[in-house]
Amino acid sequence: MSSNAVVPSLDEVQVEHREAISLLRLCRPRKRNAINDGLMAAIGQRMTDLPATTRAVVLHGEGDHFCAGLDLSELKDRDAVDGMHHSRSWHVILRDMEFGKVPIVAALHGAVVGGGLELATACHIRVADDTTFFALPEGSRGIFVGGGGSVRVPKLIGAHRMLDMMLTGRVYKASEGVTIGMAQYHVPAGGALAKAIELAERIAQNAPMTNYALMHGLPRIAEQTADHGLFTESMLAAISQSAPEAKARVRAFLDGTGPKVKAD
Determine if 73 is a binding residue for ligand 1HE (CB under 6 A). yes
Q: Which of residues 117-156 bind ligand 1HE (CB under 6 A)?
A: 137-138, 141, 143, 145-147
Question: Is 138 in the active site?
Answer: yes
Q: Report which residue type is found at 210.
A: T
Cβ proximity to ligand 1HE, 171 vs 239, nearer residue: 171
Question: Is 201 in the active site?
Answer: no
Which of 111-119, 163-171, 218-226, 236-244 is the region at the interface with ligand 1HE (rule: CB under 6 A)? 111-119
Per annotation, catalytic residue among 19, 118, 198, 245: 118
Determine if 114 is a binding residue for ligand 1HE (CB under 6 A). yes
Cβ proximity to ligand 1HE, 55 vs 60, nearer residue: 60
- The span from the CA of 72 to the CA of 138, in Å, is 10
State which of residues 32, 109, 124, 195 lies at the interface with ligand 1HE (CB under 6 A): 32
How many CB atoms within 10 Å of residue 166?
20
Nearest distance from C-beta of residue 117 to ligand 1HE, angstroms: 8
State which of residues 113, 119, 123, 166 lies at the interface with ligand 1HE (CB under 6 A): 113
State which of residues 24, 39, 47, 70 lies at the interface with ligand 1HE (CB under 6 A): 70
Determine if 12 is a binding residue for ligand 1HE (CB under 6 A). no
Phi, psi of 56 (to 5 degrees): -160, 155
Nearest distance from C-beta of residue 249 to ligand 1HE, angstroms: 41
Nearest distance from C-beta of residue 132 to ligand 1HE, angstroms: 12
Nearest distance from C-beta of residue 33 to ligand 1HE, angstroms: 8
Cβ proximity to ligand 1HE, 73 vs 242, nearer residue: 73
Contact 183, 128 (CB under 8 A): yes
- The span from the CA of 158 to the CA of 92, in Å, is 23
Please enumerate, as own/partner, the contacts of 246-252 that have beta carbons within 8 Å and a separation of 24 or more: 246/207, 246/209, 246/210, 249/207
Nearest distance from C-beta of residue 143 to ligand 1HE, angstroms: 6
* Residue 139 burial (10 A CB sphere; 0-12, 13-18, 19+): middle
Q: Where in the sequence numbering do the catalytic residues fall?
A: 118, 138
| Footprint on this chain of ligand 1HE (rule: CB under 6 A) | 31-32, 34, 64-65, 68-73, 87, 90, 111, 113-115, 137-138, 141, 143, 145-147
